[in-house]
Structure 1
Amino acid sequence: MSKNRYYYFDHATCSFVEVRPPSSRRMLWILIGLVLILGIGGVIVWQIGGRLATPRELALEAENEALRAQLRRMTQKLDQFADRLNELAAHDQSLYRTLLQAEPISEDVRQVGIGGSDAYAAFDRFSKPTATLLRETSQKLDALERQLALQNASFRELLTLAERREVWRRQMPALLPADGPVVSGFGMRLHPILRVRKVHEGIDILLPYGSPVYAPGDGVVRETGRNSGYGNYIIVDHPATGYQTLYGHLSRILVRPGQKVQRGDQIALSGNSGYSTGPHLHYEVRDRQGRPLNPLQFVAPSMTPHEYQRLLEAAERSTISLD
């Protein structure tokens, strides 16, 4: 159908003139048409773009997936490491602390944690799978760091206890101080000179005159001297154990007060000084309060200085052969 035309009568020219729409109206319709075309095109491009990623976007997505896979592998390694650390903690609790008589670490302390605000909130800006993976990995890393710090502190404590235990072991008077038979024990007996029943506060070891006398444990010489009862005597402190040892009836003293001695060091020669009926060594062990203790409760009677030296030499030969 042909488009209708409209005319008006022009009195100036005495003729009919066709009515034409103004040019601005035509431009408006043109603009509206362009806007519609662009809008429809944008929608189509947006729809297609949602389905077809650019090569750069595809590369970034592949890189992100690789990083997520690496994080998942690292999380599995962290789980394995946590299992080993838990085994170590179990040994710490059931073995090392038992052997060293240390107080056990409470379960509340072992289950170390943190409180306060969410330390992992920054991960929430990522996609949910990525944020969840980052949060789990970070939580495991932080828990392991705290557990390692606790275990490290525990081992430092146990090392200190072990070192103290070693000092205590070295200072324990665990040897007989001379190679000879015990001829008089600890306790009540008839005094050989006074001929009355009296507590014998040590043991007597039968020795030829001038036989070596050895330190039964590491210590420091507290006192040397002479009196009517013990004759020439030595007192050695073993401070880590709380014990003192005394050696009486000596013929010669080979150490001085303040001198450090080690187990097996020769400190004197036996004799017959003081109240003594013949050459022998009188040996005592006392506690912190000065109360006498039976020396034989600290040693096996066969553990003489000679036997101790033999064991040391055997151990040294064994070490050399291993090297």
Structure 2
Amino acid sequence: MSKVKYYYDPDTLSYRKIVPKKTKKYRNIFLFLVGSFLFGLLGLTLLLNTNLVNTPRELSLQREAKNYELQFELLNKKMQQMEQVLANVEERDNNIYRLYFEANPIPEEQRRAGFGGINRYKSLEGFNNSDMIISTTKRLDIIQKQLVIQSKSLDEITVLAEEKEKLLAAIPAIQPVRNEDLKRMASGYGWRSDPFTKARKMHWGMDFTAPRGVPIYATGDGKITRADNNSSGYGKHIRIDHGYGYISLYAHMSKYNVRKGQKVKRGDLIGFVGSTGRSEAPHVHYEIFKDGERINPINFYYGSLSPQEFENLLKYASQENQSLD
């Protein structure tokens, strides 16, 4: 109930009731409504620009942001697992694979190197979670680079393995004649007595005595480069180029079973024992060259001899007796 107001009338010397005009009443009502509207609008604007009240859209975005944060945490855990697996592969690559194939290990700085130059992550700056996003993206880029480096390393290891297999097949590794066909190992590598002059001279190979016609075998994979009797003292002889700097020579043959230019495998029959050239009795004179230098063949029988047989061979080869050529 509105208050009744009065005013003092000096003419009648009495208080008279004030009767408000309708227009003024309507005006007051209008001003009250306008003021209320403006005040409400101002309050709503202030609330919307503070954290006190969130709109449904903001609430939806907040839930979406929290979901992304959770996804980033899960992604980082998965990346940590990937890094551990990758580190294990890298360790085996450096300390086993590359070591076995005599390849230099890949430096840690090269595997972990970042990306220099321009800022690759400028477009990710300016967001609430920019630090987390940039850190995760950098981590992914480094893992990707590590995987590329490791993939190239494994490709290199594959090539080295193929070359190693070829090398192991090519290196002379067996006796040129079988043990059951041997009479004895007559002379080894070193200073020996010449059978014709009786003077001491260097014997550059090993002599294996065997009956005439006993098979002679290639001691490693390679290509026949000579099959002739045009080299002084060797008589009918064969030379095999095994690659990797290795050449084997088989002298004093009675006949050949191969021709120049032919490719052979370890264990292939290449000729037969004889006594052609400067020879005192049927035998095969066997030499090995490495990078053009003659080396002792005694170290190249791991593919055909037992430890006991090798020990016996070593004992006979070390005796300074008379050679057969």
Q: Does the pair score TM above 0.5? A: yes
SS state at 2:229 partner: strand
C-alpha displacement at 1:299, in angstroms?
2.2
Residues 31-42 of structure 1: matches in 2 within 5 Å? 36-42=35-41
CA distance in 1, matches of 2:27, 2:208: 130
Tell me whether 1:72 sits opposite 2:73 in the alignment: yes
- SS of residue matched to 2:125: helix
CA distance in 2 between counterparts of 1:208 and 1:157 reads: 48
Tell me which of 216, 221, 243 is aligned to 1:218. Answer: 221
> Runs of 5+ in structure 1 lacking a partner?
5-22, 308-323
Within 2, Cα distance between the matches of 1:151 and 1:80? 17
Partners of 1:66 and 1:89 in 2: how far apart? 34
Structure 2 counterparts to residues 1-12 of structure 1, below 5 A: 1=5
Which of 225, 231, 240 is 2:235 aligned to?
A: 231
Distance in 1, Cα, partners of 2:31 & 2:119 = 53
Counterpart position of 1:103: 104
Correspondence list, 1:138-157, <5 A:
138-157=137-156
- Whether the 8 Å CA contact 1:72–1:133 is kept in 2: the answer is no
Q: Give 1:260's match in structure 2, choosing from 240, 258, 263.
A: 263
**Secondary structure at 1:168 match in 2:** helix
Shift of 1:183: 1.5
**Secondary structure in 2 matching 1:160:** helix
1:279 match: 282
Q: How many residues align?
A: 284
Partner SS state of residue 255, structure 1: coil
Residue aligning to 2:315: none
Structure 2 stretches lacking a partner, 5+ long: 9-22, 310-325
Q: 1:215 to 1:2 in 2, by over 3 A?
A: farther
Residue pair 2:171, 2:221 contacting (<8 A) in 1 also? yes
In the other structure, the counterpart of 2:116 is 115
Percent identity over the alignment is 35
Query: Is 1:294 aligned to 2:293, yes or no?
Result: no
2: CA distance, partners of 1:2 / 1:196: 159
**Pair 1:37–1:202, CA change in 2 (3 A):** same
* Residue identity opposite 2:134 in structure 1: R
Q: TM-score scaled to structure 1, two decimals?
A: 0.77
**1:268 aligns to what SS in structure 2?**
strand
Query: What root-mean-square deviation, in Å, do the aligned CA atoms of Structure 1 and Structure 2 show?
Result: 3.1
User: 1:197/1:44 Cα in 2 relative to 1: closer, same or farther (>3 Å)?
Assistant: same
> 1:78 offset after TM fit, Å?
0.2
Deviation of residue 112 (structure 1)?
Answer: 1.0
Shifted more, 259-268 versus 160-169: the winner is 160-169
1:190 counterpart = 2:193: yes
Q: How far off is 1:48 after superposition?
A: 5.5
Task: Say if 1:193 and 1:275, in contact at 8 Å, map to a contact too.
Answer: no
Q: Tell me the TM-score normalized by structure 2.
A: 0.77
Relative distance call for 1:119 and 1:29 in structure 2 (3 A) is: farther
- Which amino acid letter does the alignment assign opposite residue 101 of structure 1? E
